[in-house]
């Protein structure tokens, strides 16, 4: 997950290469981090969460037409609690309804799981590979274990002298408390593309200088939302029309 400061200096230069790994191998979630300035860092554990709202109105695409995608209850970004393990992701999947907002919840949970350091262990990775990825996902994208291993071992994705203020290996997580989401107007009832941005958390503080973005594609398969692909993030649309999560963690 590449992260950048306001000045453009890389926090984790090695993870610039993760853009390639996450798209071609992991095939999921946080692939770009851009500058976002201003504000005061906040502790995600102390920020009050607003009450969730509910809507069943259809999703209206950027062309102004009703695409008939049922939204459901507005996503909290923390449907199964603040954990970052595979159990949290799979519990979110089990609870998420067959609505566009349900797909957003699953996408956000997987983004929180994928983007943490230290990386998830082998058992966690296997659980996500077996339980959350679609049968139609390309094999090279579905091999999450290989993707994490490549980040750790491939010289192409390592830099012994990072110019930024944080060395490779600095523990981090991401938070939906300062996150935003956008359902792509091309989405249908059974296939939803979710554009996401989440705050980067280091030492319990949400960064005011960097955030991560990613756009997984989910399909309704075997009575649950599953990740099948990833697409480039609609950055301008997300920044202009993204919606804050109603809770977050």
* Distance in angstroms between the alpha carbons of the first and the last residue of the chain: 19
**Cα(214)–Cα(208) distance, integer angstroms:** 18
pTM of the model: 0.76
Lowest model confidence (mean pLDDT) among 63-72, 81-90, 152-161: 63-72
CA distance 44 to 30: 19
Q: Summarize pLDDT for 1-19 with one digit per residue, the tens.
A: 333 333 333 334 323 223 3
Q: For residue 36, is it within any domain?
A: yes
Half-sphere exposure of residue 171, counting CA atoms within 13 Å on the CB side? 5
The count of domains in the chain is 1
Residue 95 lies in a domain: yes
CA atoms within 13 A on the CB side of 182: 20
Q: Is residue 5 part of a domain?
A: no
Asked, for residue 3, whether it belongs to a domain, the answer is no
Q: In the prediction, which pLDDT does 69 show?
A: 59
Distance CA 95, CA 106 (A): 9
Residue 167 is assigned to a structural domain of this protein: yes
Q: Is residue 1 part of a domain?
A: no
Inform me whether the pLDDT recorded for 53 exceeds 70: no
The residues with which 33 forms a beta bridge, in sequence order, are 212
Task: Label residue 139 by pLDDT band (50, 70, 90).
Answer: confident
* Structure confidence at residue 121 as a pLDDT band (50, 70, 90): very high
The string of pLDDT tens digits covering residues 215-228 is 999 999 999 999 99
Q: Does residue 28 form part of some domain? A: yes
Burial class (CB in 10 A: 0-12, 13-18, 19+), 188: middle
Domain contains 90 = yes
User: Helix axis angle, 122-131 relative to 86-95, nearest 10°?
Assistant: 20
Measure the CA–CA gap between 76 and 177, rounded to whole angstroms.
Answer: 9
| Domain region containing 85 | 13-244
d(CA 209, CA 185): 29
Other Cβ atoms within 10 Å of 45 Cβ, number: 10
Beta-bridged to residue 54, according to DSSP, are: 73
Instruction: Give the model's confidence band at 145: pLDDT under 50 very low, under 70 low, under 90 confident, else very high.
Output: confident
Looking at residue 156, its pLDDT comes to 59
Q: Which of 48, 107, 42 is nearest to 75 (CA)?
A: 107
């Amino acid at each position: 997950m590449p992260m950048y400061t306001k000045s453009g200096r890389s926090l984790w230069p090695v993870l610039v290469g993760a853009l390639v790994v996450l798209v071609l191998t992991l095939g999921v979630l946080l692939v770009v981090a851009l500058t976002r300035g201003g504000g005061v860092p906040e502790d995600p554990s102390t920020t009050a969460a607003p009450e969730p709202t509910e809507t069943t109105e259809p999703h209206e695409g950027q062309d102004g037409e009703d695409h008939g995608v049922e939204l459901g209850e507005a996503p909290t970004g923390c449907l199964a609690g603040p954990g970052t393990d595979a159990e949290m992701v799979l519990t979110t999947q089990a609870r998420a309804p067959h609505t566009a907002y349900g797909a957003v919840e699953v996408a956000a949970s997987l983004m929180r799981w994928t983007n943490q350091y230290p990386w998830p262990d082998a058992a966690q990775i296997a659980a996500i590979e077996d339980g959350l990825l679609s049968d139609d996902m390309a094999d090279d994208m579905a091999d999450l274990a290989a993707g994490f291993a490549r980040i750790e071992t491939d010289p192409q994705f390592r830099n012994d002298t990072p110019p930024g203020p944080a060395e490779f290996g600095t523990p981090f997580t991401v938070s939906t408390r300062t996150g935003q989401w956008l359902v792509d107007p091309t989405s249908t009832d059974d296939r939803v593309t979710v554009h996401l941005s989440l705050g980067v958390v280091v030492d319990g503080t949400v960064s005011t200088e960097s955030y991560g973005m990613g756009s997984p594609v989910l399909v309704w398969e075997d009575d649950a939302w599953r990740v099948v692909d990833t697409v480039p993030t609609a950055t301008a649309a997300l920044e202009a029309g993204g919606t804050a999560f109603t809770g977050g963690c």
